[in-house]
């Protein structure tokens, strides 16, 4: 770790560290504009290449956790950038010394989206359809869904940006691919989705659709300004989801799905947390849910995640997380 840092000044241009992909640049651009509005200061996007961007291996084989994050955090700690924007689902569940999670802005649509040939929905895919995904979590739930429909699919491991993945369908190599709806929304391409998949059929990755804004701990004034972007309901939800993931001792490439959402109505407002762990072939799933009062503190949200994870472990979840290959 570095021995000294560059403290952010209160005037001048702020440097925002971002990955180079179109999606990362799009979502960082949204945050940059919000920060300009809040601080009145110019924001410059600084493009940084991460290991996850250059490796052609599957995310499961390279460990997944932190591969899109470490280079951005190093740039922060080295003073090369003032703050960074991550897809929160890529962020390790443990913090980084010297950094603070300054804001979790309002979440985009957390659902997965299907892009299939001929405008097909998942239910309309033929038996034996080839469906591309780089996610063991998606593979597990999609295979289970197909089984419930009395059919089978072949999940094919893919990597690449949105253009590359959708290109597999356009070329006829695959019948469909599954991507995050949030990414398609941020790129203005949600119209290419042939179906938005209900969380009842496929729970998203913990933190999917949310962004994380990090800065150095030695820049409290900047952290306070960035905190204006924080959405309390989103932070509570992703805290519960990530606590579940951490308690399961699973990384972001594990076949684990989780979604916390606020249930309004009735005499009280509650936070519902759903979780799933499964084998990639979809033959075994542990799916549980719980509810609690909308948390007033991060500690309460984290406790909800730990409690559900403990229940899932008691149902045999630990034995299902070792199968990672698609």
What residues are annotated to the active site? Answer: 90
Using the structure block, give the residue that is written with the tokens 């992703």. Answer: 238
Bridge partner list, 154: 130
Whose structure tokens read 């959708």? 166
The pair of structure tokens assigned to 265 is: 């109505």
Parallel, antiparallel, or unpaired: how do β-strands 83-87 and 211-216 relate? antiparallel
Q: Which of 59, 73, 61, 16 is nearest to 39 (CA)?
A: 16
Is the CB of residue 99 less than 8 Å from the CB of residue 216? Answer: yes
> CB of 234 within 8 A of CB of 104?
yes
Query: Tokens 């076949």, residue?
Result: 255
* Residue 243 in tokens: 């606590």
8 Å CB contact between 169 and 156: no
SS3 226: helix
Stretch (H or E) spanning 100: strand 99-103
Let me know: does 72 contact 50? Beta carbons within 8 Å: yes
In the chain, the N- to C-terminal Cα span, in Å, equals 36
Q: How many residues does the chain have?
A: 326
Q: Is the dihedral of CA 99, 101, 103, 109 positive or negative?
A: positive
Give the SS3 label for residue 288.
strand
- The DSSP element (H or E) to which 197 belongs, if any, is strand 195-197
């Amino acid at each position: 770790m570095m021995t000294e840092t560059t403290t952010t000044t209160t005037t001048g241009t702020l440097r925002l560290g971002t990955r180079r992909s179109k999606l990362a640049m799009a979502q960082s651009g949204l945050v940059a504009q919000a920060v300009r509005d809040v601080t009145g200061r110019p924001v410059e996007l600084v493009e940084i290449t991460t290991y996850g961007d250059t490796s052609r291996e599957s995310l499961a084989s390279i460990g997944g956790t932190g591969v899109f994050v470490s280079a951005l955090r190093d740039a922060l700690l080295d003073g090369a950038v003032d703050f960074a924007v991550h897809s929160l689902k890529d962020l390790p569940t443990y913090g980084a010394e010297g950094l603070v999670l300054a804001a979790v802005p309002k979440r985009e649509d957390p659902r997965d989206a299907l892009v299939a040939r001929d405008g097909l929905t998942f239910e309309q895919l033929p038996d034996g359809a080839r469906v591309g995904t780089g996610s063991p979590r998606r593979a597990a739930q999609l295979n289970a869904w197909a089984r419930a429909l009395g059919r089978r699919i072949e999940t094919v491991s893919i990597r690449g940006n949105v253009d590359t993945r959708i290109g597999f369908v356009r070329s006829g190599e695959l019948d469909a691919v599954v991507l995050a709806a949030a990414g398609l929304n941020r790129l203005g391409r949600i119209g290419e989705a042939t179906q938005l998949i209900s969380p009842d059929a496929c729970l998203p990755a913990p933190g999917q659709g949310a962004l994380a804004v990090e800065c150095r701990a030695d820049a409290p004034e900047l952290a306070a300004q960035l905190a204006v972007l924080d959405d309390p309901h989103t932070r509570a939800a992703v805290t519960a989801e990530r606590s579940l993931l951490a308690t399961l001792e699973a990384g972001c490439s594990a076949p684990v799905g989780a979604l916390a959402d606020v249930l309004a109505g009735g005499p009280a407002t509650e936070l519902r947390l759903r979780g799933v762990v499964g084998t990639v072939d979809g033959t075994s799933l542990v799916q549980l849910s719980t509810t609690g009062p909308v948390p007033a503190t991060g500690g309460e949200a984290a406790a909800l995640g730990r409690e559900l994870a403990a229940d899932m472990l008691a149902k045999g979840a630990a034995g299902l997380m070792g199968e990672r290959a698609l």
